[in-house]
Chain A
Amino acid sequence: MATMLLNKMELEELRNDHRWVVIHPLDDAPETKVDTAALGPMKMTLSVRLSLMSLRAYLILMLLLVFYRVFCQAGFFGLHV
C-alpha cells in the first residue's frame, strides 16, 4: 500500500496490472455533473402544479392557525390560551 501522485497513464497501467487505486474525492479530478443552470426552471406538469398548490394551501392554513394563536394570546376572542 503506497500513496503517490499518479497521472492518467499510470492509473491505466495499474488497472491493467490488476492493482487498485483509492483516491479521496477531494484529491480526484473534477467530475462532470448535471448542468443545472442550463436547465432553467422545472417544467410544471399537472402533478407538480397540484403538489405546489396544496403546499400553498397548507402554508396559508398554518399562517391562519398561527394568527389564531396570536389573537387568542392577545385576548381578541375573549380567551387566553
Chain B
Amino acid sequence: MTNKLIPLAAVDVEVEATSVRGTVVKSKWLHSLLTFLVVFGPGLIVMVADNDAGAVSTYSQAGAQYGNHLLWIVALLLPATYFIQEMVVRLGIATGKGHAAMIYQRFGKWWGLFSLVDLELVNFLTLVTEFAAIDLALNKMGVDPRLGVPLAAAALILITVSGSYRRWERTVVFLCLLDLAWFYIAFMMRPEWGAVARSSVLPSMPPGGITADLTFLVIAIVGTTVAPWQLFFQQSCIADKKLRFADLRWARLDTFLGACVTVTAAACMMIAGAASHTHGFHFTDPAQMAVDIGSFAGPLIKNLILLMMINAAVLGTTAISLSSAWAYGEVQGWPHSLQLPFSKAKGFYFVYALCVAAAAGLVLIPRAPLQLIILGVQVLAGVILPSAIIFLQLLLNDRELLGDYANKPWNNVVNWTIIVVLFALSLILAAQVAAPNLFPTIS
C-alpha cells in the first residue's frame, strides 16, 4: 500500500490497550464459525432493510400485475446488489470511516455538500413513506395510527439511544430474521413451484409486451433494490463496528447472505401479489392486498402480511435514519457512534431522533401531500443513485487511498456494467417522473 498508516484514533470508545476480551476455542472450524458470527450483522441489516415499505409495495404490485414474469429481474439483481455493497465493505474496512466523510475528503466541499444534502433530503422523504406504510397497515389491523405511529417512532428511537452498538445490532438482526415469515406467506399461497423456478431463471415477457407501465415498474424494482442510502449506511456501520482487515471475507459472506435473503424475500412478495391477482383482486396497495389475501388464505396470513409490512417499514426507518445521522455526524466532525451514550454524542442522536420524529409527525398531519412526497422520493433517488455509485467506483479505484484493496480489472468491468445500466434506468425513471408525456405508451 502506498498510503501512510496511522493508529486509529480511539476518541470515542475506551479501549484497554494492554488486553482484549476473547473466547478461546480448540478447533479451527469453530473459530471460523464464531468469527463469522461476531462479524455478521451490517451486511444482513443493509440488505433486509432495503426491503422496506416501498419495496414491499413495488414487489407485490409487480406480482399482482405481471404474475411470476418479473422474477428473473429480481434474480439478476442479486449479483448487482452484492457487487455494489461489496465495494462499500472494502472501503469501510480499509478506511474505518463513513462514505460521506470519504466524499468530503477526496472530492472536496462542493461534491461533499451535494451528496450530503441530497442524501438527507431523499432519506427524509423516504422515511415519510415508511411511516405512511405503518399508518396504512395499522389502519387495516384496526389500530388507531394516532397511537401506533408515535409508539413505533418512540420504539425506534429507544433501540438506538441505548449506547450499545451490540444491543442495537442484535435487536435489528432479530427484526431482519422475522422477515423470513415472507417464505411462509409465499408457501401458503401454494404457487406452482416449477413455474416459479422457471420464471426465476428464464427471462420472459409478460403478455402485452413492453409498455410504459412495465418499464416504470422494472425501473422501480431496480431502484428499490439498489438504493443510495445503502452505500452510506453499510460503510458507516462497518466503521462503527470497527471491522478489521481480517474480517473482510466474513463481511463479504455476511453481505452475500443478506443479498440472498433480501432477493428471495422479494420473490416471495411477488408470489403473494400474484396470488391475489389469481383470485381476481386488483392491486391498490400492499395493506389492501393483505386484506384481499386474507379473504381466501385466512386472517392469520392477512395479519402476518400487515405485520411484515410494519416490520419492513421499521427496519427501513432505523437504517435510513442512521445513515442520515452517521453522514451528518461524519461531516460535522461530531462524535457519531452507537457505542457512545447519549450524553457523549448528543448531535448524532439528535439528528437520528429528529429524522424519525419529523417523518412520523408529518404522516399524522391530516391531508399531508403524501403523493407529492412519493414522487419526490422517486425523482431524487433517480438523481442521487448514479452520482453516489460513481463516487463509490472512483473511490474504489483510488490506489493512493486503498492500495491492495482497490478494485481489480474484473471488478471494474462488472461494476461499470452495473453503473451504466443503473445510470440509464434512473435517467429514464427521473425523466418519466419529471415529464411523463415524453414517453409514449408502447404496446
**Chain A residues near B (Cβ < 8 Å):** 1-8, 11, 14, 19-43, 48, 51-52, 55, 58-59, 61-62, 65-66, 68-69, 72, 79, 81
Contacts and interface: CB of A to CB of B under 8 A. Distances in A.
22 contacts: A1-B26, A5-B20, A6-B19, A6-B24, A7-B18, A11-B22, A19-B26, A23-B20, A25-B39, A25-B242, A27-B21, A27-B22, A28-B242, A29-B17, A31-B244, A33-B8, A34-B3, A34-B96, A39-B401, A42-B106, A62-B434, A65-B430
B241 interface: yes
B21 A4 contact: yes
Nearest to A69: B434
Q: Which residue, B1, B23, B390, B436, has most C-beta atoms of chain A within 10 A?
A: B23
Interface in B79-108: 94-97, 101-102, 105-108
Task: Give the top 7 A-B pairs by smallest Cβ distance, nearest first.
Answer: A20-B31, A65-B434, A33-B96, A21-B22, A30-B8, A69-B434, A22-B34
Contacts of A69: 433-435
Interface in B353-411: 379, 382-383, 386-387, 390, 394, 398, 400-403
B22 A36 contact: no
B435 A28 contact: no
B25 A42 contact: no
B38 A59 contact: no
Interface in B6-55: 6-10, 13, 15-28, 30-31, 34-35, 38-39
Contacts of B435: 65, 68-69, 72, 81
Given A20-B24, A36-B102, A26 B108 contact: no
Contacts of A32: 5-8
Contact of B15 (A29, A33, A62): A29
A51 B386 CA distance: 11
Given A22-B31, A30-B10, A33-B97, 5 more contacts: A1-B25, A21-B25, A35-B4, A58-B427, A72-B437
Contacts of B107: 41-42, 52
A1 B23 CA distance: 6
B94 A26 contact: no
B7 A5 contact: no
Contacts of B9: 30
B5 A20 contact: no
B249 interface: no
A7 B16 CA distance: 10
B63 to A, nearest CB: 29
A42 B403 CA distance: 14
A45 B96 CA distance: 25
A4 B22 CA distance: 6
A25 B394 contact: no
B27 A27 contact: no
Contacts of A37: 105
B264 to A, nearest CB: 28
Contact of B24 (A19, A33, A41, A62): A19
B166 to A, nearest CB: 7
Q: Which residue, A8, A29, A31, A34, has most C-beta atoms of chain B within 10 A?
A: A34
